[in-house]
Amino acid sequence: MPHKSEPAIIAIFGATGDLAHRMVLPALYEIEQAGELPKGTIILGIDRIGGMNDESFRTNAHDAIQAHSDGGDTKLANWCAKHLFYQGMDTSSASDFEALRKRLEELERAQKLPGNRLFYLAVPPVAFGPTIEALGTSGLNKSTGWTRLVIEKPFGHDLASSMELNALAQKHFREDQIYRIDHFLGKETVQNLLAFRFGNTLFESVWNRDKIEKVEIVVAEQLGVEDRAGYYEKAGALRDMVQNHLTQLLALTAMEVPSAFHADDIRYEKVKVLRSIAPIKEHDVLMGQYMRGEIDGEGVVAYQQERGVAPDSKTETFVELKLSVESWRWHGVPFYLRTGKRLKERVSEIIVTFKCPPVSIFKPYKECELAPNVLIIQLQPNEGFRVSLQVKKPGAQISLQTEWMHFSYADAFGSLPDAYHTLLRDVLQGDQTLFVSADETLASWRLYTPVLERQHRIHPYAAGSWGPGASS
């Protein structure tokens, strides 16, 4: 059933940081412009920056939103003046959290709000735990309306830390109050996996081990580590991309049909997939690190030469895994997860290769070697999908050729909403369908923590290539 949005205070911790500037604040403005922000909703920016007040925060936010959205300057300025407020505080200070509680109550009285509060943690992962603990001990986990907590990835860095963070969050908030964001799940093309599979008999009827040869999930980036070396050196590609983004795509691709289109039913089926994956063997893991090379004709430095990276770093910037989903539907079908930085192209896609017909009637004819049908679901860029078919070339001679059928989201629907637009709208509506449950985070870390604990050879690859030469 459709969810209903109610006016609320959106309190953003880290409101002057990069994530808030690039994603959260622009998305909230876009939600307003789409008429989807509940009337009366206000945004309280929270940060440690001294000397800032409501007016200076509005200017700060205005410039950030203007740089990342299409809003007109006058309209945007009016929106900032009406909706944005600021609270400077030290998140390690109990008295500052008491001051925050009083400010929230003052704003709710002044704006005639019902007491609904959304706390968004746009802060570094190291601050998740202390902030959640302070919200709980100060009583801000309860209000006269609803209270919701949004937590960015990464949700822990291994199984033990994920269990600890889950326990802390669930100590102060119910699971139905916690929204763990994976922005890949906010992409329209990712959500369409459910419609694609369960709304089309053509595909669901062949979505199994009898008809499918292999499944590949690829998230390739042209960018290097950029200014994230401090984080990336401790994370690497497996923690940064595989444990969350690629695993979510795997779960949606391999899940059984849920009993209803409801958050609990969908997330239950995703967890079943993760729990059915066999332990990952050492020879099914390939890791690499980019060397010097060229991206779009321009020279780029090796990972170890990037600013903030140790000159002898062993951090992986490329990972390929072969996984086995030991379920009735998928037994014997390999799933390949592949991601890397400084690769040849920026692309995110799911490639499903079907089995060739068991018998070919075209063997007596030259140029009639059968090729498998392939379905490519492209998540970014150029969102859409392609299906390859075998067709006969015109003429007297029997000759087969592969041709592609295309569907483009841009051609059919125009521009698509940003992932954060979708996810923040869903938080306000109380819809957890596109958010990661505690069970999902733990099942994922149980799978990958043994891989992280093993020592792996790091294979070099040239920037601008598709990864190490050993990649399949």
Q: Report how far residue 7's alpha carbon sits from residue 117's, in angstroms, rounded to the nearest whole number.
A: 9
Q: Report how far residue 125's alpha carbon sits from residue 151's, in angstroms, rounded to the nearest whole number.
A: 9
Cis amide linkage into residue 381, ω under 30° from 0: yes
Is 245 annotated as catalytic?
yes
Q: Report how far residue 274's alpha carbon sits from residue 452's, in angstroms, rounded to the nearest whole number.
A: 17
Distance of CA 181 to the CA centre of its chain: 7
**Tokens describing residue 422:** 């979708």
Q: Report how far residue 125's alpha carbon sits from residue 156's, in angstroms, rounded to the nearest whole number.
A: 8
**Tokens describing residue 26:** 């622009």
Nearest to 28, CA basis, from 86, 72, 79, 81: 79
Distance of CA 348 to the CA centre of its chain: 11
Local structure of residue 241 (DSSP, 8 states): I
**Tokens describing residue 413:** 């629907």
**Tokens describing residue 338:** 């592949």
Q: Strand (E) positions, 105-210? A: 117-121, 147-151, 178-180
Under DSSP, is residue 28 helix (H, G, I), strand (E, B) or coil?
Answer: helix
Under DSSP, is residue 244 helix (H, G, I), strand (E, B) or coil?
Answer: helix
Alpha helices in 38-93 (DSSP H): 54-68, 73-83
Name the catalytic one among 245, 406, 421, 456.
Answer: 245
**Is the separation of the CB atoms in 65 and 420 below 8 Å?**
no
Q: Which helix (H) or strand (E) holds 186?
A: none
Query: Which residues carry out catalysis?
Result: 245
